[in-house]
Amino acid sequence: MSKLNIQASAPGKLILLGEYAVLEQAPCLVVAVNRSCNVNLEPIDGDVFSIEASNQEIPKVQFTLNEGHIQFSEPLSDVNRDRLRFVLYTLNYVIEQNNNTLPTAVIKIDSESFYHKKSGNKLGLGASAAITVSLLSALTKLINKPLTGQELYRTAHKIHRKAQGKIGSGADIAASSVGGILQYRMAENGALDGYLDPVVWPKGLIMIPIWAGYSASTQDMVRKVKTYRDENPASFNAIMDPLKQLSKNGCHAFQNGDTEKFLQIVDDFIEQEKKLGEASDTEIISEAHLQILKAVKSAGGVYKPSGAGSGDIGVAFCNNLNTAQKIKQAVESKGFDKLDLSLQITETNTLEQHTVA
């Protein structure tokens, strides 16, 4: 076994359009951003593994393997087990694929960039997906069975979805695995092999990521909407069908470089999200997002939450630098932070200058 350290990283994501609709087989737009989870595996002698993390949410633990089963050196609380669940699900998958063995290593996980510097709150950039993808990439290198691209996406999606209780579209996993700017759609009939199509950023479209000021639980939000769907299918479809159509039209406008149409669709999308939130008693468009929306619209832009809503990040869009500057000033005057994010572009994507203001 090589004693060289093994490193892997995976970017976070922003969803530009298609939240909730993507869970009903509509396409969404998702981009990889320049906040990454970095994993370092240091092979060591002996049989005691260590997990060390830059963020306190992931506890420092030691364990050994007994016939393929992880045994912790000290009992693990339910809280810490939950905080470790994406790490443990990934470890267990790789151990099982490697005949219930794994070379002993110190596992170091750095996901610090997924947290707000001032408050310490999680930003909502898909930290769990990036952790899953980067750790899976590193561990499969460790056992000389490396995964890349869509193969990495499919495997990480399987692990991540299981760890989340079969909730989620996999768009965050797609961005973390493949990178770039993607039109993403879930596979039919619950299959895990979604459709990932690289797209080009529209000329003149400017994006401004904005922090709503607090974190929100995507799983809780999605569960509430799912409950509403199951209990009120007719009412749900009356709201979801237009949302799905907006997602399809928005993806089409984005892919065709129709910036003006895309901006109008974003404006219509948040209004439809308001209806979904009100009907499902889910705070998708919270007071914070309403305040940001008002500030952005007063400056001449459009705005929507990125992801499940309530808190986390929203994205403002416009088509000229003067409007972008007005948006930043209006948002900051309300006490909200414009985030310093840029897109992580692959060879199959191109990027118009000033995409992120």
Q: Does one domain contain both 61 and 96?
A: yes
* Burial zone of 248 (CB within 10 Å; 0-12 exposed, 13-18 middle, 19+ buried): middle
Task: Say what the pLDDT of residue 357 is.
Answer: 65
Q: Which residue has the higher pLDDT, 327 or 350?
A: 327
Residue 347 has pLDDT above 60, yes or no: no
What is the span of the domain harbouring residue 307? 206-338
Q: How many domains are there within the chain?
A: 2
The pLDDT score that the predictor gives to residue 4 is 87
Same domain assignment for residues 160 and 278? no
How far is Cα 323 from Cα 157, in angstroms, rounded to an integer? 38
Q: What is the CATH number of the domain that holds 129?
A: 3.30.230.10
pLDDT at 354 over 60: no
For the ranges 12-26, 57-71, 179-193, 286-300, the lowest mean pLDDT is seen at: 179-193
Whether residue 210 is found in the same domain as residue 302: yes
Does residue 187 sit in the same domain as residue 290? no
Give the tens place of pLDDT for each residue, 173-219: 999 999 999 999 998 876 677 899 999 999 999 999 999 999 988 88
For residue 95, what pLDDT is reported?
A: 98
Q: What is the CATH number of the domain that holds 276?
A: 3.30.70.890
Question: Exposed (0-12), middle (13-18) or buried (19+): which is 137, by Cβ within 10 Å?
Answer: buried
- 214 lies in the same domain as 167: no
Is residue 160 in a domain?
yes
Last residue of a domain, one of 198, 227, 261: 198
The answer to whether position 349 is within a domain reads: no
In the predicted structure, residue 117 carries a pLDDT above the cut 90 = no
In a domain, 354, yes or no: no
- 188 and 42 in a common domain: yes
| Identity at 196, one-letter amino acid code | L
Residue 143 placed within a domain:
yes
The pLDDT of residue 281: 95
Co-location of 240 and 135 in the same domain:
no
Average the pLDDT over 106-128 and give the result. 92
Q: Both 17 and 51 in a single domain?
A: yes
Q: Residue 155 domain-assigned?
A: yes
114, pLDDT greater than 60? yes
Whether the Cβ atoms of residue 331 and residue 357 lie closer than 8 Å to each other: no
- Tell me what the pLDDT averaged over the chain comes to: 93
- Which has the closest alpha carbon to 266: 250, 279, 282, 251? 250
Task: Among 142, 170, 198, give the residue marking a domain's end.
Answer: 198
Predicted pLDDT at 1: 45
29 and 173 part of one domain: yes
Least confident stretch, 32-36, 142-146, 247-251, 343-347: 343-347
Rounded mean pLDDT of 279-304? 97
Is 310 within the bounds of a domain? yes
Q: Final residue of a domain: which of 154, 174, 198?
A: 198
Same-domain pairing of 302 and 219: yes
Alpha carbon distance 271, 285 (integer Å): 9
pLDDT in tens, 228-268: 999 999 999 999 999 999 999 999 999 999 999 999 999 99
- Residues 43, 78 within the same domain: yes
* pLDDT greater than 60 at residue 100: yes
Residue 288 lies in a domain: yes
Name the pLDDT band for 307 (thresholds 50, 70, 90). very high
**How remote is the C-alpha of 265 from its chain's centroid?**
22
Asked if the structure places residue 271 within a domain, the reply is: yes
- If pLDDT is split at 50, 70 and 90, which confidence band does 313 have? very high
pLDDT at residue 343 in the model: 85
| 182 shares its domain with 269 | no
